[in-house]
Amino acid sequence: MKTKTPEQVVRKIEPLLGGFANYYRGVCSKETYEYISHRLWWYLWRWAKRRHPNKDKKWVKDKYFRTEYKKGGKRDWRFYYEGKDRRGKRIVHNLYEGDSFWAKGRGLIGQKL
């Protein structure tokens, strides 16, 4: 998995996240979603560090994770990567939508640059 691009990594884990969201959607499962969200962050962080073993942590964070500012304060460590849409235009992909991935049970939104 070390040689996979960010898009390939997200495409591999996105169906798993959708399955978790569908399975737990009918119950109150805040702790479960928090746990899955934490594990997802941990997997992405480990993947990014393995992909760039000679770079320091700050460089890895700046390349793959960004800080978002919301009404309630800043939210750090959001996984982003740049890619292209079907027409070849550059877009920034965000694994999370809204306040969290679980808000609508969806991932990967594209924002045009």
Q: Highest mean pLDDT: which of 11-20, 28-37, 50-59, 91-100? A: 50-59
What's the pLDDT score for residue 53? 93
Model confidence at 90, pLDDT cuts 50, 70, 90, reads confident
Judge whether residue 96 has pLDDT over 80: no
Model confidence, pTM: 0.69
> Both tokens of residue 78?
């959001």
Judge whether residue 112 has pLDDT over 90: no
Burial (CB < 10 A; 0-12, 13-18, 19+), residue 48, is: buried
44: three-class secondary structure by DSSP? helix
Least confident span in 15-29, 83-97, 98-112: 98-112
For 23-82, what is each residue's pLDDT tens digit?
877 776 777 778 888 888 888 899 999 999 999 999 999 888 887 776 676 666 778 877
Please give the Cα distance from 107 to 98 (Å, whole number): 10
Alpha carbon distance, N-terminus to C-terminus of the chain: 28
What's the pLDDT score for residue 102? 41
Question: Distance from CA of residue 7 to its chain's centroid?
Answer: 10
Residue of 74, 73, 50, 70 lying closest to 60 (CA atoms): 50
Residue of 65, 112, 104 lying closest to 86 (CA atoms): 112
